[in-house]
Homo-oligomer: A and B are copies of this chain.
Amino acid sequence: MTDQKATNVTWHDHTVTKVERRKLMGHKSAILWFTGLSGAGKSTVANTVDHLMHEKGIHTYVLDGDNVRMGLNKNLGFSADDRTENIRRIGEVAKLFSDAGIFVLTAFISPYRADRDRVREIMGEGEFIEVYVNASLATCEERDPKGLYKKARAGEIKGFTGIDDPYEEPAKAEITLDADTKSIDELAQEVVAYLDANGYLSA
């Protein structure tokens, strides 16, 4: 904590910049965009990365269905337009978090490549890290933690990704995680190792 010494100075010609905020945070910032099928483990891996980074003193935040679908995007449904708007808003909010100096981890299926690439385009070089949580449909359907695949197969849910709506694999993900064979902890450590190796964890 640095006390303000001068009180007679006019500050309002100065806006605190992203670089200054990152310096105060003690590390860089970026979006970690987790994408993959329902049940692949996006949210679980993201929350584990969140925990590991927090333990290292890195400032992070997770955006997922829990805090976005009930709040910011509660007026959106599941039509094609609404899905695109859902991802657009999440991308814009994630950009603000990264600008604020925080690592923001987003955990959404985000099945369409164009939607994800649009987020990449609004970010600066190195500030969008696409993390493909790659689990096969067979694995996800076998896990089916929320019973959604069963409902989709029974026709009770329409337009379900992987069943009757496509999942477009990332063409250029910065990180691809093998979620069929590795543990959550191994996958999370891979993400942290990437950030460390690429200089993200220092200012």
Contact = CB atoms under 8 A, between A and B. Distances in A.
Contact of A11 (B14, B15, B48): B48
A4 B56 contact: yes
B2 A57 contact: yes
Contacts of A25: 59
Contacts of A4: 52, 55-56
Nearest to A7: B189
Contacts of A171: none
A24 B45 CA distance: 21
Contacts of A80: none
B2 A56 contact: yes
Contacts of A184: 10, 12
Most buried by B among A9, A16, A93, A99: A16
A143 interface: no
Contacts of A24: 54, 57, 59
Contacts of A55: 2, 4
20 contacts: A1-B56, A2-B56, A4-B55, A4-B56, A7-B185, A8-B185, A11-B188, A12-B45, A12-B47, A12-B185, A12-B188, A14-B47, A16-B47, A16-B50, A21-B61, A24-B54, A24-B57, A25-B59, A61-B100, A96-B97
